[in-house]
Copies of this chain bind each other. A is one copy, B any other.
Amino acid sequence: MRHIFHSTTSGSYAVVKKILAFFLIIALNGPLFSQNEDAFFLRDIYDTALTEGECYEWLRHLCQDIGPRLAGSPGAEAAVFSMQRLMDTLGFDTVYLQPCMAPRWDRGAPASGRIVNNEFLGTQPLNVIALGNTVGTGPDGITAPLVEVKSLEEVEILGEAGVAGKIVFFNRPMDPRLLNTFAAYGGAVDQRALGLVVAARYGARAVLVRSMTNKLDDVPHTGSVAVVDTVPKIPALSVSTNDAEQLSRLLGRGEVKVHLQSNGQLLPPVKTYNVIGEIRGTTHPEEIILVGGHLDSWDVGEGAHDDGTGIAHSLQVYPLLKKLGYRPQRTFRCVLFMNEENGLAGGRAYWAASNERNEFHLAAIESDRGGFTPRGFSAQGREDVFTDYYAKISTWLPLLEPYGLTFTTGGSGADISGLKSQGGLLMGFVPDAQRYFDFHHTPADVFEAVNKRELELGAASITAMVYLIDKYGLR
């Protein structure tokens, strides 16, 4: 690109001006006056986010002053109280902590791994990381032959004869053909979440899982493993994709024996908190619009895209509306959930309390897919109401498309999933997904991986959605 004056107008002022002019002309005839007003208001939201947004500095604080925030850790506690203090300055009616009891997992010293008996390579180190909620190997580690599988079903087929005494190596890659990398993740993560459970039943000594990423590199990705009390507790580790490829190549030539050492332990649950800010609605206070993300993160990296950006987005919504003089008609609630990563204790506590009080969440929006350029929202809801809601929000597409936003049906977010029974609309903020799994659950998920403009555009997009739902409802 050189100094040509580019006139491409995708998402640009020129397009927006054309749209504004269009609405202005229509408005003279009356019926669409409010859409005209809305087009201008959305433009104001984006302008304000891009020129006066504070979310990038809040994210910096969360990532760099506080750092990793696994539930129950000192970092998580610091984040709770620091975010409460920050929320106190944002103009909410009420800011409060909602207690919950979260599982506490401690990684201990970093895990290590190596190939020990390969005839071609001798001893070779492996890039491994202990998976969340798992037990350690003990100080001496485990040495055992590797058996490679591509699915849980393959373990069932191999049975005790094929698995007992071995380390089960789950090596089905995420499908690179899926443009939606979250769908690719969803198609592979059963190996990490449930591989241990299946392998332990047949007497495996440990589990080694290919990292959940499309990228071929040397960085192992952590993440949680389902805790099932009825199966033996065995260690589970993740291995980098490059090493997974290498192990698979070597297994093609003969037996591969691996040594793994890890030090995780589950400690007694600890009391921790969701952080909640609320502004009571002026005319429909009984209808709640929730925006949230999760405050906890894994214990490696800084939890920037997972889910510092969701926290920064959520915190920015009400200040943007306030700056623009908009007072919500419905009750707006900003919820920073605790323990999404390894237990969902915060989400569960929130649903329980909400259902007990017979609350109605008209809409809940979670941001938990990173802070990249906005592409839209996924939406889901109870069968009896969802079609009407989806039709209603679709009428807003002409207002949202200039900002690159569209709607899809599908999952919303783990922390809000339990609100579905209330009969409101559940949405997930959907940013560009190509880079997310380069960082997810790794030491690379740091503040510098987030782009300021992309983050601000996300906050503006969620605010636009909240504004439209608040102003028009969903019926």
Chain A interface (Cβ within 8 Å of chain B)?
A: 1-15, 46-47, 50-51, 175-183, 185-186, 189-190, 192-193, 214-215, 223-224, 226, 306-307, 340-342, 344, 368-369, 373, 375-376, 378, 402-404, 406, 408-411, 414, 417, 428, 430, 432-436, 438, 440, 451-454, 457
**A8, B430: Cβ atoms closer than 8 Å:** yes
Beyond A2-B340, A451-B438, whether A179 also contacts B404 by CB under 8 A is yes
**Distance (Å) between the CB of A375 and the closest chain B CB?**
7
22 A-B pairs whose Cβ atoms sit less than 8 Å apart in the complex = A1-B306, A1-B307, A2-B224, A2-B344, A3-B223, A3-B226, A4-B411, A5-B189, A6-B182, A6-B185, A6-B411, A8-B378, A8-B411, A9-B408, A10-B179, A10-B406, A11-B180, A12-B183, A15-B408, A47-B177, A179-B402, A434-B454
Contact A8 B410 (CB under 8 A): yes
B404 pairs with A369, CB closer than 8 A: no
Kindly state the separation between the CA atoms of A47 and B179 in the bound complex, as whole angstroms.
Answer: 10
Are B9 and A50 within 8 A (Cβ)? Answer: no
- Does B410 lie within 8 Å of A10, measured CB to CB? yes
A347 → chain B, closest Cβ, in Å?
10
Q: Tell which of B224, B432, B438 touches A3, judged by Cβ atoms closer than 8 Å.
A: B224
A180 touches which of B1, B8, B182, B436 (Cβ 8 Å):
B8
A290 to chain B, nearest CB (A): 18
User: Given A8-B410, A408-B10, does the pair A1, B457 have CB atoms closer than 8 Å?
Assistant: no
In the complex this chain forms, how many copies of it are found? 2
Question: Are B13's CB and A414's CB within 8 A?
Answer: no
Contact partner, A373, options B15, B369, B434, Cβ 8 Å: B434
A375 touches which of B1, B175, B404, B452 (Cβ 8 Å)? B404
| A3, A15, A344, A440 pick with most chain B CB within 10 angstroms | A3
Shortest Cβ distance from A51 into B: residue: B176
What's the least CB distance linking A227 to chain B, in Å? 12
By Cβ-Cβ distance, the 6 closest A-B pairs, closest first, are A8-B410, A11-B179, A12-B180, A3-B193, A8-B378, A12-B183
In contact, A453 and B176 (Cβ under 8 angstroms): yes
Question: Closest CB-CB distance, A189 to chain B, in whole Å?
Answer: 5
Contacting pair A177 B13 (CB below 8 A): yes
Say how far A112's CB is from chain B's closest CB, in angstroms.
24
- Whether B434 lies near A1 (C-beta < 8 A) is no
A193 and chain B: residue at smallest CB distance: B3
Q: Residues of B contacting A226 with CB < 8 Å?
A: 3
CB < 8 Å neighbour of A189 from B3, B214, B452: B3
Q: With CB as the reference atom, state the residue of chain B lying closest to A48.
A: B177
Q: A179's contact among B46, B409, B436, by CB below 8 Å, is which?
A: B46
State the CA gap A46–B177 with chains docked (Å). Answer: 7
Which one of B10, B341, B434 contacts A378 once the chains associate, using CB atoms below 8 Å? B10
Q: In whole Å, how far is A183's beta carbon from the nearest beta carbon of chain B? A: 4
Task: Chain B residues near A451: list those with CB within 8 A.
Answer: 434-435, 438
- In the complex, what residue of chain B is closest to A456 when comparing beta carbons? B176
Task: Report the bound CA distance from A167 to B179 in whole Å.
Answer: 50
A430 to B9, alpha carbons, bound, how many Å?
Answer: 11
Closest chain B residue to A378 by CB distance? B8
Give chain B nearest CB distance to A467 CB in angstroms: 18
A4 in contact with B179 (CB, 8 Å): no
Name the B residues within 8 Å of A223 (CB-CB): 2-3
Find chain B residues with CB under 8 A from A376 CB: 10
B189 touches A409 (CB 8 A): no
Asked, given contacts A2-B341, A14-B183, A369-B1, whether A9 binds B453 with beta carbons under 8 Å apart, the answer is no
In the complex, the chain B residue whose C-beta lies closest to that of A214 is B453
